Amino acid sequence: MSARSDRQIQVALGTRSYDIHIGAGLLETAGTYIAPLLFRPRTVIVTDETVATLHLTRLQEGLAAAGIAVDSVILPPGEATKSFPQLEHLCTALLDHGVERQDMVIALGGGVIGDLTGFAAAILRRGIDFIQIPTTLLAQVDSSVGGKTGINTRQGKNLVGAFHQPRLVLADLSILRTLPRRELLGGYAEVVKYAVLGDSDFFEWLEAHGAEVRAGDSAALAHAVEISCRMKASVVAADEREGGGRALLNLGHTFGHALEAATGFSDRLSHGEAVAVGMGLALDLSERLGHAPPGTAARLRAHLKAAGLPAHPDEIPGPPLAVPELLHHMRQDKKARQGTLVFILVRGMGEAFIADDVPPAEIEAVLSGAALQDTVS
């Protein structure tokens, strides 16, 4: 696909606005997008070992073709890389490569590399520019857009970070061909999230064409990534720093984070799987409180099941999870405000809203109704 046949979305943030390009083969043509943004024709690519083996050379060649000199920093793959030690390592490596205030660095990877590189860019020389080249479906539809960057500490995920918007996002759909199935499905759960929270037509489209998306069909993937990015871009443009509406993007995440915590952030349950199960519970809660018509949760679950995602807590492998423990994790959630839990609920498919007045007994009832254990084992 040529550089001109891609799909383009603008994230409208005044002087910090930027474009998202979505298309197949963008690594090869990356230089034509990036060269005009550079102060001088050089850059540093930050990536992880897995992505480096699979895709780094193509990006290096794509940049070299536009006369850009390239260095690279290759970090270990995995969530543990979003850490203070790796942040220090990355910042000093970038300085060793001679990165100056007006230079730009490139994050080539999933959300881990994007979040860490974005944060390093936010603080290096008091802030340099960066570009996102997301390589997972989750990163293409979610983490690469919106400017949240950061690392984890022993107290929890994403507790140290900064808002720092990228200057450009290049979502190359061909990169997703090498993505392990489980990673692809995790990203698909976030795609479904956009449909459920704001676009019932898109949900219908996913019911008809989701299998093509998950099979890697270029046209279907391009549509799913585009619609998802459009929604994220518009939510972020309206509420960059999550004073209000951006919280809608947390649909399924209050339950999801509690499920991830209760399973020890382990292989038992990935983030996307937790969001899938969490969305089902959020829709149960919406129905229980009389906000959504009966059958809304069942329709979502049927789709998640067809996609090969868990839709119900009892589909999480291992011993059943305990309701009190999940409630405890929910109260720890960083979105809890003065003890009140904030939930994203729906009035129907595609109509999410923020609810901060959900009685704890109703949450407990939904969890108990989900056939979890009522007591801590």
- Catalytic site residue from 253, 301, 303, 329: 253
One-letter amino acid identity for 240? E
Residues 232-271 that bind ligand NAD (CB under 6 A): none
Which of the stretches 65-73, 97-105, 140-148, 332-340 binds ligand NAD when contact is defined by CB under 6 A?
Answer: 140-148
Q: Which of 257, 301, 303, 329 is catalytic?
A: 257
Q: 341 Cβ partners below 8 Å, 6+ apart?
A: 254, 330, 331, 333, 335, 356, 358, 360, 363
By CB under 6 A, residue 332 contacts ligand NAD: no
Q: At what angle do helices 200-214 and 218-238 cross, to 10 degrees?
A: 140
Q: How far is the CB of 184 from ligand NAD (least distance, A)?
A: 9
Question: Of 273 and 284, which has the nearer Cβ to ligand NAD?
Answer: 273
Q: Among the options 214, 250, 301, 303, which is catalytic? A: 250
116 CB burial (10 A radius; 0-12, 13-18, 19+): buried
Selected catalytic residue, list 42, 82, 148, 329: 148
Measured from the CB of residue 52, what is the shortest distance to ligand NAD in angstroms? 9
Rule CB under 6 A: is residue 285 a binding residue for ligand NAD? Answer: no
Pairing of strands 104-109, 69-75: unpaired
Q: Determine which residue in the list 27, 74, 171, 179 makes contact with ligand NAD, applying CB under 6 A.
A: 179
328 is written with which tokens?
């405890």
- From 21, 42, 82, 257, residue interacting with ligand NAD (rule: CB under 6 A): 82
| 148 interacts with ligand NAD by CB under 6 A | yes
212 is catalytic: no
- Tally the C-alpha atoms within 13 A of residue 27's C-alpha that lie toward its C-beta: 22
How far, in Å, CA of 197 to CA of 17, rounded? 24
Q: Give counts: helices (H), strands (E), the chain.
A: 14, 11
Identify the sign of the CA torsion 112, 119, 20, 240.
Answer: positive
Q: What angle do CA 292, 294, 299 make, to 5 degrees?
A: 95
How many amino acids of this chain bind ligand NAD (CB under 6 A)?
29
Catalytic annotation on 148? yes
Binding pattern to ligand NAD, positions 34-53, x when CB under 6 A?
--------------x-xx--
Annotated catalytic residue 193: no
Q: Are 223 and 140 within 8 A, CB to CB?
A: no
CB of 332 to ligand NAD, least distance (A): 16
Bridge partners of 48?
75
Catalytic residue among 61, 79, 242, 351: 242
280 lies in the binding site for ligand NAD (CB under 6 A): no
Which range touches ligand NAD (CB under 6 A), out of 4-12, 130-138, 340-348, 368-376? 130-138
- Cα separation, 222 vs 217, whole angstroms: 8
When asked if residue 273 is in the footprint of ligand NAD (CB under 6 A), the reply is no
217 phi, psi to nearest 5 deg: -60, 125
Element (H, E) at 72: strand 69-75
Q: Is residue 158 among the annotated active site residues?
A: no
Q: Which of 21, 164, 246, 301 is catalytic?
A: 246
Among 31, 109, 166, 252, binds ligand NAD (CB under 6 A): 109
Q: Which amino acid, 124?
A: L
Q: Which residues are near ligand NAD by CB under 6 A? A: 48, 50-51, 54, 77-79, 82, 109-113, 115, 135-136, 138-139, 142-143, 146, 148, 157-158, 175-176, 178-179, 183
Residues labelled catalytic: 126, 148, 190, 232, 242, 246, 250, 253, 257, 271
